[in-house]
Amino acid sequence: KAGVTQTPRYLIKTRGQQVTLSCSPISGHRSVSWYQQTPGQGLQFLFEYFSETQRNKGNFPGRFSGRQFSNSRSEMNVSTLELGDSALYLCASSLEGAWGNTIYFGEGSWLTVV
Amino acid sequence: AQSVAQPEDQVNVAEGNPLTVKCTYSVSGNPYLFWYVQYPNRGLQFLLKYITGDNLVKGSYGFEAEFNKSQTSFHLKKPSALVSDSALYFCAVSANAGNNRKLIWGLGTSLAVNP
């Protein structure tokens, strides 16, 4: 069974640009969550999607957005990139929801903003 | 406010010695508790979880954790540490209360096992 797949793995963007990251969850999983990981802040929850609907949202500005497709694949978008957006972005999937079920993480997308 | 604390940024142990990585929490309702491990340049991997039942939970790679309701703790333990256990460990908690169903994460504890 394939795990959670995130693309691209590494990318470098310029301040002011926008970026889209993709996540394919484990087959059959309907919940996809996104996290930002930085050395000083640990894991910061961005949002969770379940059956194409955003179910939970963290405390990030509106520049961070996401969506989920009918096949459960998810994308997150960051517009008007800032230097502070440089981080590892992790996607996680679970059967029914992140709050009470085991969640499975992808390898992450390393974003560097210069 | 609901929170999770991992009071130690780093834990150092000698190979073969027992290890403990601490986690305490403050949430309403009955918590679901998780431990995840992150190896360098990798995503997080599930180690174990407590939902209900026996307070001692056994997980992957020989790890176990004990749920202590009175002390609101869920410390991760292993009887004999391996160098390969060196990684970043995260505790996560969610509370089955109302509509607040977000996982709350600790900041992580870096475990270094010295040969």
Render pLDDT for B20-54 as a digit per residue (tens, 0 to 9).
999 999 988 788 899 999 998 888 999 999 988 88
Give CA–CA dist B90/A39, Å, rounded: 13
Q: CA geometry: angle at B54 spanning B49 and B60, to 5°? A: 35
A42–B108: do the CB atoms touch at under 8 Å?
A: yes
% residues pLDDT > 90 (chain A): 79
pLDDT digits (tens, 9 = 90+) for A31-83: 999 999 998 778 899 999 999 999 888 889 999 999 999 999 999 999 999 99
Whole-number pLDDT of residue B13: 98
Distance of CA A48 to the CA centre of its chain: 9
Residue A85 pLDDT > 60: yes
Q: CA geometry: angle at B111 spanning B109 and B114, to 5°? A: 160
Q: What is the maximum alpha-carbon separation in chain A? A: 38
Residue numbers in A near B105 (CB within 8 A): 42-43, 45
* A66-97 as b/e: b if 16+ CB within 10 A: bebeeebbbbbebeebeeebbbbbbbbbbeeb
Parallel/antiparallel/unpaired status of strands A104-105 and A53-57: unpaired
Confidence class of residue A99 from pLDDT cuts 50, 70 and 90? low
Whole-number pLDDT of residue A1: 64
Residue B98 pLDDT > 70: no
| CA distances in angstroms from B70 to B3, B53, B74, listed in the order given | 16, 15, 11
Residue numbers in B near A97 (CB within 8 A): 101
Whole-number pLDDT of residue B96: 58
Summary mean pLDDT of chain A: 92
- Residue in A43, A100, A106 closest to B90 by CB: A43
Whole-number pLDDT of residue A6: 97
